[in-house]
Structure 1
Amino acid sequence: MADFSVHWVFAFGVLGNIVSFFVFLSPLPTFYKMYKKKSTEGYQSIPYVVALFSAMLWIYYAFLKTNTTLLITINTFGCFVEIIYVGFYLFYASKEARVQTIKLLLLLVVGGFGAIVLVSQFLFEGAVRVQVVGWICLVCSLCVFVAPLCIVKQVIKTKSVEYMPFLLSVILTLSAVMWFFYGLLLKDFNIAIPNVLGFIFGILQMVLHVMYYNKKEEEFVKEQNLPELKNHKHANYGELKSNIGLI
């Protein structure tokens, strides 16, 4: 029975690595835009710095535990990718944005992570140290999962899903499911609990996408003054927009 559980832990860990791999690569289109325009265009560096900080925390937590190799592998990749993102951002950012990013790096990655490591090493031992670092990881992950609420609020307010890609919502939801079961089977609730919230927000985003995507298409048809398609339930709005040149 124990071997069976180990196999499932490994399976969900591998699947979590695969899905999270694509999550970490999801900002590539944004950085391609920066590269094309040689500018950060008002994009913020905060998500990438926070993601780097989070990945470093999880690696530290995983090293304090046993049987968490798959947690180390994906977050090592995450650190590598986020460092590239931050470096790329600094290269194309304005002087003001560059200074703000460096300050954030010093505050969060150097100061924050350094303080957590030092305090946990000198003030706590053994299982208590693991528990304290696990709580910090849990809180950090909850903050990361709560962040999309700003986008959800914008979607409800504007009734537009333009800035909330459906595929990304699906990937994030799958990632939350994989890591939830990984943490649950390991009996590590510091991993499992935050992903419950991630799953809930992922489902919420997909529901909102279904709700407001149809409204967006209906409003588009009305704006184009095409009465012959307004009541056509099977109208191919994607093809319509493509023909008009909006895709």
Structure 2
Amino acid sequence: MTGTLAHLTLAFGLLGNIVSFMVFLAPIPTFYKVYKKKSTEGFQSAPYVVGLFSAMLWIYYALLKTNVLLLITINSVGCFIETLYICFFLFYAPKKARMESLKLIVLLIVVGFGLIVGLTQFFASGVTRGVIVGWICLVFSLCVFVAPLGVLRQVIKTKSVEYMPILLSVALTLSAVMWFFYGLLLRDFNIAIPNVLGFTFGIIQMILYYMYKNKKPISNEKITEFEAKKYPVGEMEGKRFQERVDHKTIDVVKLTALISSDILPVVTKLKENGHDAGHVAVEPQAHPNVPNHIIEVTA
């Protein structure tokens, strides 16, 4: 029986490593877009900094235990990948975003993780140290799994799943299942408990995805509703074009009237003095209201 449990634990741990590795690689398309456009375009570094902090916490916890080697392997890989993402982000981020990211790194990685390690090393020992760090990992993991609530609210509000990729949701759900059973078989509830919440939110995300994947986003339904009811699409475009043409025609009429009002008195005066108006070059006076350009109207 003990051998069977050991094999099951190893199997779930290896599957957890594989699925978690896929989750770590999920942001690659995002960073490919950043590379192509040479700009972070409003993307945030917080998920990657938080991911690095989480991986470092779990490595520290695993080092205090004796039987969770597979927890060390995947989180070591995670630390490496998240560090690459952060460096890539800092390279292409504008100055303001770069400074905000550096502040978050200092606050979370340097100060936060440094305090956890320092305080537990100096004020706790043996099993107590592992218990304290385990509780910190548990609470932090629960906070990370609660974070997608904002995405769920946005999906329900907009009826759009644009910002909730289904493949990532499936991968996170599978990862939660694997690590739950890995922690359960090890009787390590600091690993198992947070993944119950992760599995629950993963299922909710997938349900919402299939509910709203064929729905039309609300934002697209609010476009000129009144005009759409009043005019068909073709008539609306024709109406707008006619308004532009009428506006340009009025400008030309005004321009002609203004120029005529300046030239006509000069021509009349020349005729009265006996000059031939047809052979006289007349320069119109500058008028403050004449446009600086001549508008050409084309049908």
Asked whether the two chains share a fold, i.e. TM above 0.5, the reply is yes
CA deviation after TM superposition for structure 1 residue 205, in Å: 0.2
Q: Deviations over 1:125-170 (max 9, x none)?
A: 1111000000000111111111111110000000000111111111
CA deviation after TM superposition for structure 1 residue 12, in Å: 0.2
Counterpart residue number, 2:103: 103
CA deviation after TM superposition for structure 1 residue 117, in Å: 0.3
Question: Could you tell me how far apart the structure 1 residues matched to 2:89 and 2:178 are?
Answer: 30
Number of equivalent positions: 220
Counterpart residue number, 2:210: 210
Structure with more contact order per residue of length (Cα contacts < 8 Å, sep ≥ 6): 1
Counterpart residue number, 2:287: none
Name the TM-score, length of structure 1 as normaliser: 0.87
Counterpart residue number, 1:129: 129
Question: Could you tell me how far apart the structure 2 residues matched to 1:29 and 1:149 are?
Answer: 23
Question: Could you tell me how far apart the structure 2 residues matched to 1:187 and 1:79 are?
Answer: 26
Counterpart residue number, 1:50: 50
2:26 equivalent to 1:14: no
The one-letter amino acid paired with 2:156 is I
Counterpart residue number, 2:254: none
Q: Deviations over 1:46-70 (max 9, x none)?
A: 0000000000000000000011110
**3-state SS, counterpart of residue 162 of structure 2:** coil
Identical counterparts, % of pairs: 70
Question: Could you tell me how far apart the structure 2 residues matched to 1:92 and 1:144 are?
Answer: 26
The one-letter amino acid paired with 2:178 is M
2:176 equivalent to 1:176: yes
1:76-225 to structure 2, matched below 5 A, reads 76-216=76-216
Name the TM-score, length of structure 2 as normaliser: 0.72
Question: Could you tell me how far apart the structure 2 residues matched to 1:213 and 1:102 are?
Answer: 37
Question: Could you tell me how far apart the structure 2 residues matched to 1:185 and 1:214 are?
Answer: 40
Which contiguous aligned blocks of 4+ residues in structure 1 show a shift greater than 4 angstroms?
none
Question: Could you tell me how far apart the structure 1 residues matched to 2:34 and 2:77 are?
Answer: 22
Question: Could you tell me how far apart the structure 2 residues matched to 1:167 and 1:45 are?
Answer: 21
More displaced stretch, 54-63 vs 159-168? 159-168
Q: Deviations over 1:77-124 (max 9, x none)?
A: 000000000000000001111111111111100110010001001101
RMSD across aligned positions (CA): 1.5
Counterpart residue number, 2:36: 36
The one-letter amino acid paired with 1:125 is S
The one-letter amino acid paired with 2:18 is I
Question: Could you tell me how far apart the structure 1 residues matched to 2:111 and 2:168 are?
Answer: 32
Structure 1 or 2, whichever has the larger Rg, is: 2
The one-letter amino acid paired with 2:98 is R
Question: Could you tell me how far apart the structure 1 residues matched to 2:113 and 2:105 are?
Answer: 10
The one-letter amino acid paired with 1:81 is I
Runs of at least 5 residues in structure 2 that lack an aligned partner in the other structure: 224-299
Counterpart residue number, 1:233: none
Runs of at least 5 residues in structure 1 that lack an aligned partner in the other structure: 224-247
Question: Could you tell me how far apart the structure 2 residues matched to 1:72 and 1:51 are?
Answer: 15
CA deviation after TM superposition for structure 1 residue 216, in Å: 3.5
